[in-house]
């Protein structure tokens, strides 16, 4: 019998994680898998459960939750023989979207049962593995403010945080070191992508590929509040690449420096700038 682990964050997506687990767990067992049912009450507990499951030699670790759950699981499967599965049950679900995994739990479970795999590059920031995008600009400031807010709950928190940060919008001086080449620019946003989108479908690093061994580095040079608001819808369509303030580079390694910004990766805080992000080719197998 094939052994896999299902790691669930029950509170993800305002309870969608628990609902997804109730659908996925019996479906996987009916398909003949021996499923380790891992439910983490905290990030620390979930990390221990995931580490022990991968150490026991499970065939795959299936993350059932949002991008934070996927990011946690990734830390334990990257560089191992254990594949990563994803059942999207959060708000953003950015990696699932990139991989074309269905948003409904039954459809996502069927992908796990099917077992088709592909190999992905990852990004590395210090000792952290990153699947999607490292946010280093206005987007990171919004995430930082939202994390400090107790009200409102859910996606509305990000709307409020965005409105507050827009009032304080100002360009910052960024220094980028791209494979040894140094670029200094005044910008409101900088992002380093392994995949093309973050934040629930904002296609900031449009054109990024997960198998080319390169990172896609995007800078949006100085814009005022009105300009940023007007450009925002184009980020969902990926048509912002023609904007005169848009700048795009590719590199194997990039160091991003700017004052007063905590970077976020896969939606999780990874530390203050400056940070170095490095591409790691073929670092993980995913079920997709």
**pLDDT averages per 10-residue partition of the chain, 288 residues:** 93 85 98 96 93 98 94 97 96 90 96 96 97 93 83 74 84 97 95 87 87 96 82 76 90 97 93 97 97
pLDDT at 154: 64
Give the chain as a 3 state SS string.
CCEEEEEECCCHHHHHHHHHHHHHHHHHHHCCCEEEEEECCCHHHHHHHHHHHHHCCCCEEEEEECHHHHHHHHHHHCCCCCEEEEEECCCCCHHHHHHCCCCCHHHHHHHHHHCCEEEEEEEEECCEEECCEEECCHHHHHHHHHHHCCCCCCCHHHHHHHHHHHHCCCCEEEEEEECCEEEEEEEEEEEEECCCCECCCECCCCCCCCCCCCEEEEEEECCCHHHHHHHHHHHHHCCHHHCCCEEEEEECEEEEECCCCEEEECCEEEEECCEEEEEEEEEEEEEC
Question: Do 107 and 227 touch, CB atoms closer than 8 A?
Answer: no
Q: Which residue has the tokens 């009200």?
A: 151
Closest CA relative to residue 202, chosen from 186, 187, 214, 220: 220
Map tokens 């194997």 to a residue. Answer: 252
Confidence (pLDDT) at 26: 98
Residue 221: its pLDDT value, please?
Answer: 92
> What CA–CA distance (Å, rounded) separates 72 from 16?
18
List pLDDT tens digits, range 113-164. Answer: 999 999 999 999 999 999 999 999 988 998 888 878 878 876 677 778 878 8
- List every span in the chain annotated with CATH 2.60.200.40: 130-282
Could you confirm whether domain 130-282 is CATH 1.20.970.10? no
The answer to whether 154 and 170 have CB atoms below 8 angstroms apart is no
Look at residue 216 in the predicted model and tell me its pLDDT: 97
pLDDT digits (tens, 9 = 90+) for 16-48: 899 999 999 999 999 999 999 999 888 999 999
**Predicted pLDDT of residue 46:** 94
Is residue 281 exposed (0-12), middle (13-18) or buried (19+ Cβ within 10 Å)? middle
| CATH assignment, 3-115 | 3.40.50.10330
pLDDT of residue 155: 63
Q: Nearest 10 degrees: CA dihedral of 189, 192, 196, 200?
A: -60
Widest CA span of the chain, in angstroms? 59
Q: Kindly report the pTM of this predicted structure.
A: 0.91
pLDDT at site 63 = 97
Residues of the chain with CATH 3.40.50.10330: 3-115
């Amino acid at each position: 019998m094939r052994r896999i682990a299902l790691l669930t964050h029950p509170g993800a997506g305002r309870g969608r994680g628990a609902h997804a687990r109730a659908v996925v767990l019996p479906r996987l067992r009916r398909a003949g898998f021996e499923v380790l049912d891992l439910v983490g009450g905290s990030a620390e507990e979930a990390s221990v459960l995931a580490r022990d499951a991968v150490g026991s030699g499970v065939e795959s670790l299936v993350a059932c939750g949002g991008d934070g759950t996927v990011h946690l699981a990734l830390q334990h499967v990257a560089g191992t023989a254990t594949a990563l599965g994803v059942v999207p049950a959060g708000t953003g679900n950015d990696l699932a979207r990139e991989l074309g995994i269905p948003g409904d739990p039954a459809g996502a479970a069927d992908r796990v049962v099917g077992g088709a795999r592909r190999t992905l590059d990852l990004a590395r920031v210090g000792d952290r593995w990153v699947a999607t995008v490292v946010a280093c600009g206005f987007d990171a400031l919004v995430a930082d403010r939202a994390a400090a807010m107790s009200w409102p709950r859910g996606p509305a928190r990000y709307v409020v945080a965005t409105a507050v940060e827009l009032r304080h919008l100002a360009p910052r001086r960024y220094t980028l070191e791209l494979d040894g080449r140094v670029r200094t620019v005044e910008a409101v946003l900088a992002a380093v992508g392994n995949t093309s989108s973050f934040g629930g479908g904002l296609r900031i690093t449009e054109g990024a590929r997960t198998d080319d061994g390169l990172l896609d580095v995007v800078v949006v040079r100085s814009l005022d509040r009105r300009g940023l608001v007007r450009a925002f819808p184009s980020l969902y369509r990926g048509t912002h690449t023609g904007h005169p303030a848009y700048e795009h580079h590719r590199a194997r390694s990039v160091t991003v420096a700017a004052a007063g910004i905590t970077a976020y990766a896969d939606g999780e805080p990874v530390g203050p700038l400056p940070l170095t992000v490095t591409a790691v080719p073929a670092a993980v197998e995913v079920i997709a």
